[in-house]
Chain A
Amino acid sequence: MAELPKIEHEIRDPIHDFIQMSTDERAIVNSDPVQRLRWIRQLALTELVYPGCSHKRFEHSLGTMHLASMVFDVVTRPLNLTDEVRQSLPEITDQGKLSYWRNVLRMAALSHDLGHLPFSHAAESQLLPEGWNHERLSRELITSDDMTRLWESMTPPLKSEHIVKLAVGKAKAPDLEYSVWEEVLSEIVVGDAFGVDRIDYLLRDSHHAGVAYGRFDHHRLVNTLRILPGAPRDEQDERRERPPALGVEQGGLHAAEALLLARYFMFSQVYFHPVRRVYDLHLIRFLEDWLPGGKFSVELGEHLAMSDNEVLSSMARAARDAEAPGHDAARRIFRREHYKLLYDRTRDEAARNPEVVSVVAEEVEREFGQGTVISDEPGDTRKPPDFPVLTTGGDVVSSETVSDVLKHMPVISLGYAFIRPDLYERGREWLAQRRMELTQPPVEDEGSEGGEG
């Protein structure tokens, strides 16, 4: 096990009981970018549906840091390493490097959400200038002069470029070159299968929402995580040096299945709850009207000065003032006059016409007028749940070959059309008459010749 930094501080946490940190780490926690996360809700306006969901990115970031080193200590334990992994990752047998990278990993986990806009994920593609997202803002903050000074003052000094890679992950930083080691460590933080970001938010969000869906045996899972050689990709895959990846021992497979099921349930029951989604859409509308030019600033000082607090106080004023920018959306949020769910696409309808939600929304607008409908197609399509599994026989195989649960794990793809609340009853009657017709298979545009259609 890598040499541990001296533990000098503890913070109580509802999920992990105590989160420990060194004095160096506390200086980072106390920095402006991390403290700002105290005022960013983890789940935007979800508290309007699940009142307990008012937790913030701050405690999630601490929890992610805590879990990151738990996983690191398990997967780098000498007894848990195979010869193949030792050869592929020389860092893993070098105590000095291990100790350095453990610190980098914890700081990357702590910093992974620094770039979040107020209310977290809500529509950053619409609300940031082109080419920007919260990962890019996180990168800018982690490598800023102020933060770089703090990283360099730690013992040992940390390199901000290492922290960035682990905090953002290769998928969101295609311009950065990752070593295999860095890729494995970034998987620990933001990986699709077992990233500690995911482990923490599922546990934390379900706790605060008051739903049991997000719970799973994370202790068992963490203790059975391993760095494993990748599984073969087809019969002819004879490449000897497959990249190592984060996987699990067969004994932890049920815990891994439970995590992925928890994710499925949380997305379908909480994150994609239609009323939560429509509040998000009203919030986006308010921000587009209220922000200068409809966009958040990406200047770091202005980013740090903008949290949920600034948005909420302006929104409250706008809700009372009919002349204020964003009044209509603000009023709908504050008075609970949100648009109502008119159409909820079925899987059969999606298979007949994947663009059926647009068809319905266009027809609603044609019937009831412009601005009477909002459509939304949320989906959790980021990954197939595939990771290496170390069997009791010592083979490494794809998870989908040994887990019927994962093989049949549903992918979430939803489609909603919401209607202005005063039109809801009329809309329902209208849709009941037209639904069959509107959900028929598409017809290719006569003039398209296969072009833009």
Chain B
Amino acid sequence: MKRNQKLVILSQLARELRQRGSWDGEMHLQKAIYLLQEVTDVPLEYPFILHYYGPFSFELREELNRMRADGLLELVAQPYPYGPSFQPTDAAKELESRFPKTLTRFRRAIDFVADVIGSRSASVLERLGTAVYLLKLSPSEDLRELAVRFNELKPHVSVEAAQDALQGMRKTLADAGSIK
């Protein structure tokens, strides 16, 4: 996929998330784009690692910052003491209008992920993202065993909560099958 195509997908996803009440901070965008790539198979090709707050891509961070530099995203300050949100600019909207086929092709995937993310908090997204990461890593492993591994990686998430997240995301992965 060419860079302009990736950019319009990122921009539209940020817009859809905002409409669903997302905070749209970097953490939220990172998790949304991870799901778009790994759950709905949109070929964005950002390499993700399992970081402290779940799946994270340094390359995606660079891309988001380059979009800021190029005037496609802007940071919007949030009330003290919270971090800023990303907001697509008018220039981003104009660029989106130039790629109708790309956006039509991935429209359902973008909506699907935006619905999954909705207004969920960073903590919940960390859990969901980590669940997907582990499910993709070991798709056939027993959920209980995966939940134990989850808990080892993130001790602040209990095995029960991890299992709930894994179960939920396994269903989400199955639901996503219909839109690929």
Contacts and interface: CB of A to CB of B under 8 A. Distances in A.
Nearest to B50: A174
B98 A443 contact: yes
B83 A401 contact: yes
Interface in A361-414: 379, 381-384, 386, 395, 397-398, 400-402, 407, 410-413
A450 B102 contact: yes
A315 to B, nearest CB: 32
A250 B153 CA distance: 33
Interface residues of A, number: 51
Contact of B98 (A379, A384, A444): A444
Contact of A412 (B53, B69, B80): B69
A384 B77 CA distance: 13
A237 B120 CA distance: 10
B65 A351 contact: no
- The size bracket of the interface on B is 35 or more
A449 interface: yes
A236 B122 contact: yes
B80 A383 contact: no
A435 to B, nearest CB: 18
A179 B105 CA distance: 42
A395 B81 contact: yes
A400 B84 contact: yes
B71 A347 contact: yes
B77 A243 contact: no
A354 B3 contact: yes
A235 B70 contact: no
Interface in B48-100: 49, 51-53, 58, 61-63, 65-72, 75, 77-78, 80-84, 89, 91, 94-95, 98-100
A442 B99 CA distance: 9
A183 B53 CA distance: 14
Interface string A195-238: 00000000000000000000000000000000000011111111
A398 B82 contact: yes
Nearest to B122: A233
A441 B95 contact: yes
B122 to A, nearest CB: 4
A183 B67 CA distance: 28
A411 B72 CA distance: 12
B80 A238 contact: no
Contacts of A386: 83
Contacts of A383: 61, 65
Q: Which 5 residue pairs are nearest across A and B when measured between Cβ atoms?
A: A450-B105, A413-B69, A236-B121, A397-B81, A351-B71
Given A347-B69, A413-B70, 6 more contacts: A233-B27, A347-B70, A351-B72, A352-B91, A444-B98, A444-B102
18 contacts: A232-B82, A234-B83, A351-B89, A353-B4, A354-B7, A379-B69, A384-B26, A397-B80, A398-B83, A401-B83, A407-B84, A410-B69, A411-B66, A413-B69, A441-B95, A450-B104, A451-B105, A453-B102
